[in-house]
Amino acid sequence: MFRDVQDFVLNFSSILWEAMPFIVLGAIIAGILEELLPQTLIARLMPKSALPAVMIGGALGLIFPMCECGIVVVMRRLLRKGLPLSCCVSYMLAGPIVNVIVLFSTYVALDPHYGWPAVALRAGIGYFIACVTGLVVHAVHLRVGTAALLKEVAVPPASAKSISLTVIDGPAAADEPEPKKSVMQRLDNISATALHDFMDITVFLTLGAILAAFAKMLVTQEDIQLLSRDMPYLAIPAMMALAVVLCLCSEADAFVAASFTEMSLSSKMAFLVLGPMLDLKLLLMYTRVFRWKLIATIVTCTISLTLVSSIVLHQVYDPLPLTAGGAPPTPVLPPAAPSPTP
């Protein structure tokens, strides 16, 4: 019993404290965005049609690298500022993968036997899934409207009219004169938003870390490896389930994937692509921004697309000749530090 508590505390604490500074950073950025970003600026800058907006969103991680924990906090405020929902979803899903630091750590972990092809596959599949999910979300959004998909806290104020890709045409919000505020008043507003968002999201991060720590006590890597040995099509969903349970940071997950020496590249890709998009702690954190209908859409899309793309990858691409020494190495190089926001 004591040993179980000891292991639980270590797993729980490591997940929580690793994410904590990035939640703080995200909350402060959220406070600044809420206070200083003009209400209609984003909507004016974004393309008016869905596809380019979603594609830009999916690639934003290259310019604004953020880890999956911090991104949720910031997204909530950007949605309020008129960022199209589909674009937000594609950035939120692809950002933690299509990210220079994550791609480099993937290369280090999977080099030399998979190397750059594995990096390209991870980025490509992740980007594809994020964009397709973004487009599906856009279609759902057009059908059911904002209120059915977003929590009130993420809905833009009435002056912004809409967060859909129908860019705000009305000049009302933009043309409203900004009331003069003192520096102290602005700092107060930023701090109030930051503390509110930090507390709101950290509650669910904590609950997610508790769930993940319990799950890690029940499921071991050996179980997954044994379950999936010689059954590659079972290995893919098994590795996807493991990614959801482990709640690993996207900068570190490639090293864990590489430690599954008997797994095919396709099952490793399933692990590496799904993990940054969906895990227990993220699922709980999503509930602070999205309503269940949107969460269900995201979960369905990411899981089904990861499964299908991994199976296709298994069918068409097997870069690993099973010769002696041909297995991917257990990593030894130091990791890149997790990416902060710019």
Partner 1 sequence: MDHIGDDHGGHDHGDGHAHGHGLSDYYLEQLVTVFVCGAMGLTAVLMYTFGRLDVILIPALRPWVLAGGIALLVVTAVRAVSLWRSVSATRDDHDHGTPGHVHGPDCGHDHAPGDHAHMPGGIYLKTIPLMIPLLMFVMGMPNSSGFSMENINSRLGKAVALGELQDVAAKSGDTLTLDFGELNMSAYDPGKRDAYEGRKVRVTGQLKKVSEKDYELFKLKMTCCAADMIPLKARIKSEIVIPQSQFPDHQWVTVEGQLQFVEIPEKKMFLPVIRIGGKGGLGLQKAQPE
User: What SS3 class is residue 290?
Assistant: strand
Residue 106 as a binder of partner 1 (CB under 8 A): the answer is: no
**Interacting residues with partner 1 between 192 and 211 (CB under 8 A):** 192-196, 198-200, 202-203, 206-207, 210
Those residues with Cβ within 8 angstroms of residue 229's Cβ, 6 or more apart along the chain or in another chain? 262
Of 159 and 307, nearer to partner 1 (C-beta) is 159
Terminus-to-terminus CA distance in the chain, angstroms?
A: 44
**Burial call 99-119: b when 16+ CB within 10 Å, e when fewer:** bebbbebbbbbbbebbeeebb
Of 29 and 56, nearer to partner 1 (C-beta) is 29
Say which residue the tokens 């590659």 belong to: 232
CB of 229 to partner 1, least distance (A): 9
Distance CA 141, CA 135 (A): 10
**Interacting residues with partner 1 between 294 and 333 (CB under 8 A):** 320, 322, 324-333
User: What SS3 class is residue 150?
Assistant: strand
Backbone angles phi, psi at 178, to 5 degrees: -75, 125
Specify which residues 150 forms β-bridges with.
290
Of 155 and 174, nearer to partner 1 (C-beta) is 155
Q: Which region, judged by CB under 8 A, interacts with partner 1, from 48-56, 130-138, 153-161, 304-312?
A: 153-161
CA angle 135, 138, 141 (to 5 degrees): 155
Residue 335 as a binder of partner 1 (CB under 8 A): the answer is: yes
Residue 34 as a binder of partner 1 (CB under 8 A): the answer is: yes
Of 164 and 193, nearer to partner 1 (C-beta) is 193
Q: Which of 148, 187, 296, 312 binds partner 1 (CB under 8 A)?
A: 187
The token duo for 159 is 């002056």
Distance CA 252, CA 177 (A): 47
Residue 280 as a binder of partner 1 (CB under 8 A): the answer is: no
Q: Which region, judged by CB under 8 A, interacts with partner 1, from 19-27, 114-122, 163-171, 309-317?
A: 19-27
Q: Which region, judged by CB under 8 A, interacts with partner 1, from 53-61, 161-169, 172-180, 266-274?
A: 172-180
Residues near partner 1 (CB under 8 A), total: 95
Residue 20 as a binder of partner 1 (CB under 8 A): the answer is: yes
CB of 103 to partner 1, least distance (A): 15
Say which residue the tokens 């993420």 belong to: 154
Residue 341 as a binder of partner 1 (CB under 8 A): the answer is: no
